[in-house]
Amino acid sequence: MKVIVEKNYEELSKTAANIIKDEIAKKPNLVLGLATGSTPEGTYRELIRLHKEEGLDFSQVTTFNLDEYVGIDKDHPNSYHYYMKTTLFDHINIDPNNTFIPDGKVENPEKYCKEYDRLIEEKGGIDLQVLGIGENGHIAFNEPDEALNVGTSVVNLTESTIQANSRFFDSIDQVPKTAITMGIGSIMKAKKIILLANGKKKANVIKELLKQDKITTKLPASILLLHPDVTVIVDEEAYNG
Ligand code: GLP
């Protein structure tokens, strides 16, 4: 696990966006795994700038998002569909037909989850996966537990995640209690992974992760220690607390 410590959020975002840019330069039809949340917003802003000012071309790129709340409409302002559209997709030249986000309103989620993993495989697998990290160590919506799902699955969110994400909703009661998320195995199959974390709130979990000494399902991000190509990019606040 490689670690890059940047001075602040802006530098972290630029570094992450440049890694994505370099991968697209190497492979214009890159299969890119994307995350939501506050953390990658700066990276997406920088990607938009690179597209508008430096001609970064997304026309052949395919994206797969990590997760989506269950029971939420695609056009709901708190859905990850809406987030991706407004935060990134509307501002770059990506083909909407090449963007995939789990559908939180499907009738048969089990079947759908299997199809999502199959579709990733069909597109050649994820070349570069962008990850954030929850304060409790979750990646995507793989919450700390006795066991973690290998493939894309429907999961219950923990109280701490519901609490953390309530800042995006009018009230905590409106936060969905379940989500569809790519599993740990789906994430680990990505050829390259970048995990981003900024701010003091992430300092505890980053300190645990960067001990790099134990793998535990109680800290789902620790499984990434088994992956051959992970870069953790943090700002000084997340690194030093
Ligand atoms: C969310 C998402 C994750 C994200 C994490 C951190 O609930 N499901 O994919 O990485 O929690 O979010 P944030 O970047 O807002 O701190």
Which of 9, 36, 167 most suits a substitution to test ligand 1, by most atoms within 8 Å of the C-beta? 36
Calculate mean pLDDT across residues 220-237: 98
Calculate mean pLDDT across residues 146-153: 97
Distance between CA 47 and CA 121 in Å, rounded? 25
Task: For ligand 1, atom 12, name the residue with the nearest CA.
Answer: 37
pLDDT for 31-49, tens place per residue? 999 999 999 999 999 999 9
Residue 230 has pLDDT above 90, yes or no: yes
| Whether the CB of 9 sits within 6 Å of ligand 1 | no
Task: For ligand 1, atom 6, name the residue with the nearest CA.
Answer: 134
pLDDT of residue 115: 97
pLDDT of residue 8: 98
Query: Mean pLDDT over all residues of the chain?
Result: 97
> Which listed residue (98, 136, 149, 165) is catalytic?
136
Three-class secondary structure of residue 170 per DSSP: coil
Q: For the whole model, what pTM was predicted?
A: 0.97
HEC secondary structure over 184-214: HHHHHCCCEEEEEECCHHHHHHHHHHHCCCC
Calculate mean pLDDT across residues 178-190: 97
- 9 backbone dihedrals φ, ψ, rounded to 5°: -60, -40
- 67 backbone dihedrals φ, ψ, rounded to 5°: -160, 170
| Whether the CB of 180 sits within 6 Å of ligand 1 | no
Residue 219 has pLDDT above 90, yes or no: yes
Report residue 23's pLDDT band, with 50, 70 and 90 as the boundaries.
very high
pLDDT of residue 211: 96
pLDDT of residue 32: 98
pLDDT of residue 190: 98
Distance of CA 241 to the CA centre of its chain: 23
pLDDT of residue 49: 98
pLDDT for 65-86, tens place per residue? 999 999 999 999 999 999 999 9
Helix ranges (H only) for 7-152 are: 9-26, 41-54, 80-87, 109-122
Residue 11 has pLDDT above 90, yes or no: yes
Q: Calculate how far, in angstroms, residue 62's C-alpha sits from the geometric centre of ligand 1.
A: 21
Identify any residues that bridge with 156 across adjacent strands, giving them in sequence order: 178
Report residue 241's pLDDT band, with 50, 70 and 90 as the boundaries.
confident
Nearest 10 degrees: Cα torsion 226, 196, 152, 106: 180
